[in-house]
């Protein structure tokens, strides 16, 4: 880019943000939800700088520290502070990479101290109670059973569940293909019980009216499109109430329960990292610190659903 053109672009903060948005979408492969979160957090900084009369291309570490302190002063939760500052560091990394700045003032920007927070976890009995609370006489009853079993059996994010397709199912091999954050794909083992519930659902699904373009989605809403995140949230809340569970839970609770139960059963931490689709094992270590010498195959060996199924059915292969 010519020098005078670069100077004009540098003066246009909106243009820089648009370039950053393209970078996150095309280079980093962020999903729409993640992209919106990054841009929303960046806007908090841009609003601060505008109020202080500061420019993004000349802002200093001291001024960024004042912004970070302001987040604390207005009562933003430490975890949310850490997320916002992480996004801002990503933005300044982009500014340096794209030659908008020569220095990166966020390199020495410290985030808040965050203690270890263990997420809410359901017991196997509580999960069974929620599944038993499903009314199988309703048209969506078998679908809901398959949803809960898939969430628990595979440890999926709710967005991954909603986007799961029939063409992603490899039941003969015992795997499903999942597209996670950043459009990264992974193969996840699936339990025999979840396979059974999905197969029953696929029989019911043949009687549902499906909207054009949604034929390959596994889980459908009553109006024929693939299920939404909000729909799954409401389903979980409703079933928890009916099962008498007072814990504050969401679809993500099934993912936490999946990981915790595997670890309690002796599965290898690295294997669980692969199952959950965590880029860093440090993310997985929120659950516990255990010996890491066993292999990935222990997932199928130790998952409560598989153990219970083998006892009842002598592990008949589907």
pLDDT tens-digit series, residues 69-116: 888 778 788 888 888 999 999 999 999 999 999 999 998 888 877 655
Average pLDDT over residues 215-225: 94
Q: Is residue 318 classed as helix, strand or coil in its secondary structure?
A: coil
User: Pick the catalytic residue: 237, 278, 294, 296?
Assistant: 278
What is d(CA 271, CA 290) in angstroms, rounded to the nearest whole number?
12
Residue 252 designated active-site: yes
Average pLDDT over residues 299-303: 64
151 Cβ contact list (under 8 Å, min separation 6): 158, 161, 251, 254, 255, 258
Angle at alpha carbon of residue 138, lines to 133 and 139, rounded to 5°: 130
User: Pick the catalytic residue: 157, 205, 256, 305?
Assistant: 157
223 Cβ contact list (under 8 Å, min separation 6): 211
In order of start, what are the domains of the chain with their CATH numbers?
3-108 (1.10.150.130), 124-313 (1.10.443.10)
Predicted TM-score (pTM) of this structure: 0.58
User: Pick the catalytic residue: 177, 181, 186, 270?
Assistant: 181
Residue 157 designated active-site: yes
Residue 181 designated active-site: yes
Average pLDDT, the chain: 82
């Amino acid at each position: 880019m010519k020098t005078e053109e670069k100077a004009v672009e540098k003066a246009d903060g909106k243009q820089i943000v648009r370039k950053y948005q393209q970078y996150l979408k095309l280079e980093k492969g962020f999903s729409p939800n993640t992209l919106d979160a990054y841009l929303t957090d960046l806007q908090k900084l841009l609003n601060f700088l505008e109020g202080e009369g500061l420019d993004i291309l000349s802002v200093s570490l001291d001024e960024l520290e004042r912004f970070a302190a302001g987040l604390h002063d207005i009562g933003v939760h430490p975890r949310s502070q850490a997320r916002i500052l992480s996004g801002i560091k990503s933005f300044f990394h982009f500014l340096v990479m794209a030659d908008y700045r020569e220095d990166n003032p966020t390199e020495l920007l410290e985030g808040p101290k965050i203690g270890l927070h263990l997420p809410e976890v359901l017991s196997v009995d509580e999960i069974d109670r929620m599944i038993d609370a499903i009314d199988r006489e309703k048209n969506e009853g078998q679908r809901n059973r398959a949803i809960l079993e898939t969430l628990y059996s595979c440890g999926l994010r709710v967005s991954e569940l909603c986007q799961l397709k029939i063409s992603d199912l490899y039941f003969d091999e015992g795997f499903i293909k999942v597209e996670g954050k950043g459009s990264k794909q992974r193969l996840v083992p699936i339990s025999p019980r979840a396979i059974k519930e999905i197969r029953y659902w696929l029989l019911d699904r043949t009687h549902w009216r499906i909207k054009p373009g949604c034929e390959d989605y596994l889980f459908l809403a009553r109006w024929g499109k693939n299920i939404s995140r909000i729909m799954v949230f409401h389903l979980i809340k409703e079933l928890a109430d009916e099962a008498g569970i007072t814990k504050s839970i969401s679809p993500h609770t099934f993912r936490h329960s999946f990981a915790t139960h595997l670890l309690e059963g002796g599965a290898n931490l690295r294997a669980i990292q692969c199952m959950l689709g965590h880029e860093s094992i440090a993310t997985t270590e929120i659950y516990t610190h255990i010996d890491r010498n066993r292999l990935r195959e222990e997932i199928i060996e130790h998952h409560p659903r598989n153990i219970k199924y083998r006892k009842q059915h002598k592990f008949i292969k589907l």
